[in-house]
Chains A and B, each alone.
Chain A
Amino acid sequence: MNIRLSDAIVVGGGLVGAAIALGLRDAGLDTVLLDEGDIAHRASRGNFGLVWVQSKGLGAPWYQRWTRGSAGEWSALAADLAARTGLDLALRQPGGVHLCLSEEEFADRAARMAQMQAEAGNHGFEYRMIRRDELAAMLPGLGPAVVGASFTPYDGHASPLALLQALHRAFTEGGGAYVPEAKVRGGSAAPRDFRVETAAGAFAAPRIVLAAGLGNAELAPLFGLRAPVRPQRGQILVTERARPVLPMPTTTIRQTGEGTIMLGDSMEEVGFDTGQSPPVMAQIAQRAALSFPWIADLNIVRAWSALRVMAPDGLPIYDQSERFPGAFTANCHSGVTLAGAHARLLAPMIAAGSLDPVLAPFSARRFDVPAAA
């Protein structure tokens, strides 16, 4: 039987897999990217599009640093992809705000931001708690219910669909092989010697990267890895297009390059149910209208739900198999934000054969430590 040999196999053609595959290809590796078809669960096609730093890594400063590093790589990533594909990723990084709708929320947020700054040590973490009056001058039409916000200069947003398309196009135009309808059903593993079976044929390589989103949970054990990820549903509403009005994104409201205003997003533990629920949609709309009352006059033109790829502690999982060196896995619930790091930092490590010690805290071995009573 025919086996396609390559230097590297990446399983999963979402944002995580595509970013890593492009990085491997750019490192000169003959890379095959295996993906499922259109009916798969694909967080990369249903997300909110924030390149978001300020809420990431409370109690886990290594995650804050990795996220900030990725946001820092983003402008180079966007410029590189634009030069190679002509696609505009609509990246804007003007900073961002988390709006607080009560004094209690404001106090909680202030405590959280102060703790992040303390944990950041001399790596620094710049933020400001901004009171309503000053905020109203920054954000047109701010609702009276908003008491204040946290601001960091690191935040921004981009078009996640343009990102996905650009990663794929740059990968294939750079000589990478994308194979859809190629769900990995099984495989065999030995150190630096991997083989997988799919409906589109068999593939073998000395390196394999599991970046199959929710599919990783099942695939990882075959390759001596663990990826205990679960689905977490998020719902999003989108308004009709409006002239530019919002100068920066908030945690749950952003105006896209085309003018639509996206309202997000819930966090629901409902397994693999991708349905929508009117009460949750109403809550999202209500909070948006409290934040900016003029949003209530805009028509909602689309709404959907998608499933996040969530680890038990909410942090990414990056690992190389101890039993089968050459097998790697990457899992995260912020694949837009982390695309810069995945393409430009993580992929070169995988190409070189080992993960940098800065990624050690992201190993799934952290789940082996029994929780203290």
Chain B
Amino acid sequence: MFRPRPEARPATVSVLVEGRAVAVPEGASAAAAMLLAGLIATRESAVSGAPRGPLCLMGVCFDCLAEIDGVPNRQACMVPVAPGMRILRQRGAREALR
């Protein structure tokens, strides 16, 4: 559904999206990695469990929440990828006491 722009840098950083390795350009966001991995719904909402995906890609809407390297509810559009980063969908509300 999403393609990198033709002028995008080469996909040199390998991250794990839902356990699957995906190569993305350096400087891309974790949200971009999830979209490039083919996810459309990147989270389930906290109250009704409705599917949601990144909307603004600039830190405003909070619809891109994901669990990144074990930390729940991070705004994936604001987190630049790093090699080996583990990105999981945010499934509903987080656990408070873990």
| Set A141, A240, A258, A261: member contacting B73, Cβ < 8 A | A240
Quick one: closest A residue to B65, CB to CB?
A240
The tally of residues in B whose CB lies under 8 Å from a CB in A reads: 10
Report the minimal beta-carbon distance from B1 to chain A, rounded to whole angstroms. 28
B93 an interface residue at 8 Å Cβ cutoff?
yes
- The one of B47, B93, B97 that contacts A294, using a Cβ cutoff of 8 Å: B97
Q: Which residues of A131-177 have CB atoms within 8 Å of chain B's CB atoms? A: 140-141
- Residues of B within 8 Å of A245, CB to CB, are 95-97
**Interface: A299 (CB within 8 A):** yes
Q: How far is the CB of A240 from chain B (nearest CB, A)?
A: 5
Interface of chain A residues 52 through 87 with chain B (CB within 8 A)? none
Q: Is A259 an interface residue (CB 8 A)?
A: yes
Residues B97 and A241 in contact, CB atoms below 8 Å apart: no
A243 x B47 contact (CB < 8 A): no
Judge whether A298 is part of the interface by a CB distance below 8 angstroms: yes
Beyond A240-B73, A299-B73, whether A259 also contacts B93 by CB under 8 A is yes
Could you tell me the dominant secondary structure of chain A's interface residues?
A: loop
A-contacting residues, B54-98, CB 8 Å: 73, 92-98
Residues in chain A near residue B98, CB distance under 8 A: 294
Q: Which of A259, A261, A299 lies in contact with B47, CB distance below 8 A?
A: A259
A242 on the interface (CB 8 Å rule)? yes
Q: With A and B bound together, what is the CA distance between A177 and B8 in angstroms?
A: 59
Across the interface, do A242 and B94 meet the contact criterion of CB distance under 8 Å? yes
Interface flag for B50 (CB, 8 Å): no
* Contacts of A300-348 to chain B: CB distance below 8 A: none
Interface residues on A, range: 10 to 19
Residues of B within 8 A of A297 (CB): 96
CA distance A295 to B97 in the complex (A): 8
- In the bound complex, residues from chain A placing their C-beta under 8 Å from that of B92 are 243
Assembled-state Cα–Cα distance A359/B96 (Å): 44
How would residues 24 to 53 of chain A score, 1 for a CB under 8 Å from any chain B CB and 0 otherwise? 000000000000000000000000000000
Instruction: Give the shortest distance, in Å, between A287 (CB) and chain B (any CB).
Output: 17
Cα–Cα, bound, A143→B93 (Å): 23
Interface residue? B40 (CB, 8 A): no
User: Once the chains bind, are B47 and A242 in contact (CB under 8 Å)?
Assistant: no
- A240-280 to B contact mask, C-beta < 8 Å, 1/0: 11110100000000000011010000000000000000000
| Closest A residue, CB atoms, query B62 | A301
Residues of B within 8 A of A258 (CB): 46-47
- Residue on A with the closest CB to B94? A242
Q: A258-B46, A259-B46, A259-B47 are in contact. Are A243 and B95 (CB under 8 A)?
A: yes
Point out the residues of chain B lying under 8 angstroms from A295, CB to CB: 96
Q: In chain A, residues 221-249, which have Cβ atoms closer than 8 Å to a Cβ of chain B?
A: 240-243, 245
Question: Which residues from chain A sit less than 8 Å from chain B, CB to CB?
Answer: 140-141, 240-243, 245, 258-259, 261, 294-295, 297-299
> Measuring CB to CB, which residues of chain B are less than 8 angstroms from any residue of chain A?
46-47, 73, 92-98
Sorted from nearest, which 6 A-B pairs have the closest CB atoms?
A: A242-B96, A241-B46, A241-B93, A245-B96, A259-B93, A141-B97
Apart from A241-B94, A243-B92, A294-B97, 4 more pairs, CB < 8 Å: A242-B94, A243-B95, A243-B96, A297-B96
